[in-house]
Structure 1
Amino acid sequence: MISSRPLLIFIGLAALSMTTVFAHPLIEARALPPALDPFYRAPAGFESAAPGTIVRQRTVQTAFLGLIAKPVEAYQLLYRTTAIDGSAIATVTTIFKPSDSKTDRFVSFQTAYDSSARICNPSYNYRLGSVQVDLISSFEQVLLQTYLLEGYIVASSDYEGPDAAFGAGRLAGMGVLDGMRAVSNFYETLGLDNDTPMIVGTGYSGGGIATGWAASLHPTYASELNVRGWSSGGTPANVTGTAVFVDDTTFSGFLPAAFAGLSKDSSYGALLDPVIARLATPYGKAQIAAASVNCAPADLLNFALMSVQDKSFQRLGDQIFYEPTVAAILEDNLMGRNANETPTAPVLLYHASRDEIIPYSNATTLYDTWCRNGADVHFTTFGNGGHLTTEILGLPMAVQFANSAFAGTLSSGCSKDTVLDDTLDPLALGASLEPALVRLINALGTLGEADEHLMGNLGLIKVPAAKGN
């Protein structure tokens, strides 16, 4: 019998709170998907602008699935950033400004969207009237709101760029950094004191790809940014290690999406497309094409327990990751590979030792490498969490890290600790954030210890593909 439990879990997590903070009707107009919205099309001549230059802006109405005590102002900026080959591209960041926001700082929140379809872009998903096909970033809006409740302006970029190049870490890192530049350039409208505000970057899982790479590239690509710290949880530091780890598992659906993302024009398409054309089977090509129009939940359910290393997917079988072009692309996306790509701002890394999606050993290797190269890193191991539960369990620590980073009170050097408690204190961030944490506590109960409830059923049902890539 086909179970509906995993779908209910996804819906339950995404619908932790349906309270709206707006006085106007819930939906005034249907938001256009990025492929149909002219706002996303960069104007002629934008290529000559410096990275981080704002080329278009608008005020938007946002619809959160969480708790916001007061209405927020929301803006979207189309800004110039950089493709893998160094050419100019444009992408969007969404800015949320709470009432009485702090005027000397903002948080860059890299939500996980783990998809190679533009309809999954956070900037679309955040808007009032959007179709909620990307349930991952829908759920993470609850986490984003904890920073708003702390009084921080929060920016969240479409760091995968205009092609939704999932898995291209360097592109994502530059997208984050240029998004920070764009927000800094927008300081007058936001009421910030100047164009050099303090910044903390944060992200988990797929958002950890973007955060980890932004931290890595900050010293060489955007050293002028006043970044005070980075927190990254469940970090996919080694794409190859992650691919081998999740292949032929409940979560193997991430892999066709990664092939799709890495083959986008702004990513490694010029190199990877010929390899896919030569080696992928008709079935493999169909799976990659499907991942280019679906969001992560559909990808996971459609390719669960399948293998990209099987010859039904491509002709090299388990040698595919050794194919020279594929191996070179994966090597280019290995965090810590180059010593000059070591974070100069303090870093918080946290990871579940029982993580079922991102290998724990890859995260500890990143910690060792960055520390050896002189970074200031604290690493927390969650001994009783799974991948999804640790995102929730680690939230208070990530918020407290941001507070300390802005205050300049973080310790230098490298350190580790282990957390065995798998409960969440509703008062961990103070009374004002208690309602949000109570909802996250309910989510922990839904997921079960180490994600056991989700793991028990995910992959047994199919969901319809997203429409309007």
Structure 2
Amino acid sequence: MTSFARRWATAAALALSVVVAGTLAPPAAGATPAYPTPLPDPFLAAPADIATKAPGDILATRRADTWLLPGSEVWQIKYRSTNSAGQPIPAITTVIKPVGAPTDMPVLSYQAIVNSLGLRCAPSAALFTGEIKDVFGLPLALAMGWAVAIPDHLGPNSAYGAARLGGMITLDGVRAVKRLPELRLSNSPVALAGYSGGGMATAWAAALNPTYAPDVTLAGVAQGGVPASIEQMAAGLGLANQHPGFGLGFAAAMGLEREYPDRLPVSSQLKRRGIALRDELKDECRSMIIAKGLFHSVTDVANSTSLLQDQNTLAVMRENSLVEYAGVPTAPVFMWHGATDELTPYRSVVETVDRYCKAGATVEFVGYPIAEHMTNAVVGLPSAFMYLKDRFAGLPAPSNC
């Protein structure tokens, strides 16, 4: 099975099954979350006074090597953001802009597809190693002549699966970009874009914008292939033994435990084999997570296979599912999805769009008759970027509510 959508949907189901095991069995050794190994880079560390800073405040900056992007200047900004418990955290965004670009040029915050647990897999590191293979959106954004900011939207613990966290990190990244004088972007129009996991961070940023960052004005948002309900994905798929997507599911459980250690004690319910696999995956990127997860199943690693029964589990999954969040974007939104992609539930996306429309949001929604998840990205991104180009030009946003 090669479909990215099927792997992602299975990931949610398997993650839930591992998490729910926590209510049904005694704990094992190695019960604390397995956090990623810190990179030997002092730039990434949180300063001692981070609690005194406001969200989006700049903590440090540096220039990055541009050999991969001739004719561009690359900056990395460390800034203060917020985790799911409301605590201050350091976050990183990487900004790419043409050398000699005009002041206040359009800025796109592009949330790349990152399905990983290791810090070396985050865009701030992986953009320069080839690990990030988001071959659709980033080159297109740069070709449009915009400045592009790519945040590490999984946060300092690489909390894969924590979608709300990604929204806050994205918004604070926009704040930081506009606050750095050297970039000359303080009055730039800003838009957001992302697909799949990057679409989750983008969609959450748009929905949180009115309450979490009302000072951030967005010209437009393009979000595609958004997994709007992790619960619906899991319930619709069920469980499979030794599924090829098991590694991603296990990684999602680990990522959620990292973000919610007091509410999702995943590690406390793993067998010795599960602890060993957890420790083997904790610093890996997408390809190796999939490879090392092969020939494993829930029963191999956890003490139970119960699913969708534990209220703590359901609460966390719903807190990270867009369809459950009452907030409505105030920025105009272009949203696209595969209309026959049942594994990344179309129904939850339609429900979200319907709620946005009833609340008076400006939404253009396109459902393509395509089942394969990444094919939908290729088909929809050109229209999405033309939509954002028109928003940067100040044209009225269309709506098909």
Q: What TM-score does the superposition give when structure 1 sets the normalisation length?
A: 0.72
Counterpart position of 2:310: 323
Contact 1:78 1:93 in 2 (8 A): yes
Which secondary structure state, in structure 2, belongs to the residue aligned with residue 231 of structure 1? strand
Q: 1:47 aligns with which of 41, 46, 51?
A: 51
- Structure 2, unaligned stretches of length 5 or more? 4-36
Counterpart position of 1:101: 101
Counterpart position of 2:139: 145
Cα distance in structure 1, aligned partners of 2:386 and 2:38 = 35
- Structure 1, unaligned stretches of length 5 or more? 7-32, 416-469
Counterpart position of 1:375: 361
One-letter code aligned to 1:161: G
Counterpart position of 1:430: none
Cα distance in structure 2, aligned partners of 1:376 and 1:250 = 39
Q: 2:389 aligns with which of 392, 400, 403?
A: 403
Contact 1:375 1:414 in 2 (8 A): no
Q: Please show how residues 25-44 of structure 1 align to structure 2 within 5 Å.
A: 35-44=39-48
Contact 2:195 2:377 in 1 (8 A): yes
Q: CA deviation at 1:63?
A: 5.5
One-letter code aligned to 2:144: E
Q: CA deviation at 1:329?
A: 0.8
Counterpart position of 1:79: 79
One-letter code aligned to 2:83: A
Q: CA deviation at 1:355?
A: 3.1
Contact 1:237 1:335 in 2 (8 A): yes
Q: CA deviation at 1:92?
A: 0.7
**Structure 1 residues 305 and 370 mapped into 2: Cα distance closer, same or farther (>3 Å)?**
farther
Q: Which runs of 4+ in 1 moved over 4 A?
A: 304-307
Counterpart position of 1:423: none
Counterpart position of 1:180: 174
Counterpart position of 2:12: none
Contact 2:58 2:79 in 1 (8 A): yes
Q: Does residue 191 in structure 1 map to residue 184 in structure 2? A: yes
Q: Does residue 299 in structure 1 map to residue 289 in structure 2? A: yes
Counterpart position of 2:202: 211
**Structure 1 residues 363 and 375 mapped into 2: Cα distance closer, same or farther (>3 Å)?**
same
Contact 2:75 2:96 in 1 (8 A): yes
Cα distance in structure 1, aligned partners of 2:238 and 2:377 = 18
Cα distance in structure 1, aligned partners of 2:188 and 2:367 = 31
- State the Cα deviation string for residues 138-187 of structure 1 (Å, max 9, x = none): 343x531222222110000001111001111111110000000000101x
Counterpart position of 2:92: 92
Counterpart position of 2:264: 272
Q: CA deviation at 1:385?
A: 5.2
One-letter code aligned to 1:232: Q
Counterpart position of 2:124: 123
Which secondary structure state, in structure 1, belongs to the residue aligned with residue 39 of structure 2? helix
Which secondary structure state, in structure 2, belongs to the residue aligned with residue 115 of structure 1? coil
Q: Please show how residues 347-366 of structure 1 align to structure 2 within 5 Å.
A: 347-355=333-341, 358-366=344-352
One-letter code aligned to 2:65: Q
Counterpart position of 1:22: none
Counterpart position of 2:302: 314
Counterpart position of 1:160: 154
**Higher RCO (CA 8 Å, separation ≥ 6 residues):** 2
Q: CA deviation at 1:246?
A: 7.9
**Structure 1 residues 58 and 378 mapped into 2: Cα distance closer, same or farther (>3 Å)?**
same
Which secondary structure state, in structure 2, belongs to the residue aligned with residue 76 of structure 1? strand
Cα distance in structure 2, aligned partners of 1:174 and 1:393 = 28
Contact 2:323 2:348 in 1 (8 A): no
Cα distance in structure 1, aligned partners of 2:357 and 2:390 = 20
Contact 1:246 1:252 in 2 (8 A): no
Which secondary structure state, in structure 2, belongs to the residue aligned with residue 364 of structure 1? helix
Counterpart position of 2:222: 231
Q: CA deviation at 1:298?
A: 1.7
Q: 1:390 aligns with which of 376, 398, 401?
A: 376
Q: CA deviation at 1:331?
A: 1.5
Cα distance in structure 2, aligned partners of 1:253 and 1:348 = 32
Counterpart position of 1:466: none
Contact 1:101 1:151 in 2 (8 A): no
Cα distance in structure 1, aligned partners of 2:76 and 2:203 = 24
Counterpart position of 1:422: none
Contact 2:391 2:397 in 1 (8 A): no
Cα distance in structure 2, aligned partners of 1:94 and 1:363 = 30
Which secondary structure state, in structure 2, belongs to the residue aligned with residue 395 of structure 1? helix
What is the identity percentage for the equivalent residue pairs of Structure 1 and Structure 2?
32
Cα distance in structure 2, aligned partners of 1:246 and 1:39 = 42
Q: What TM-score does the superposition give when structure 2 sets the normalisation length?
A: 0.84
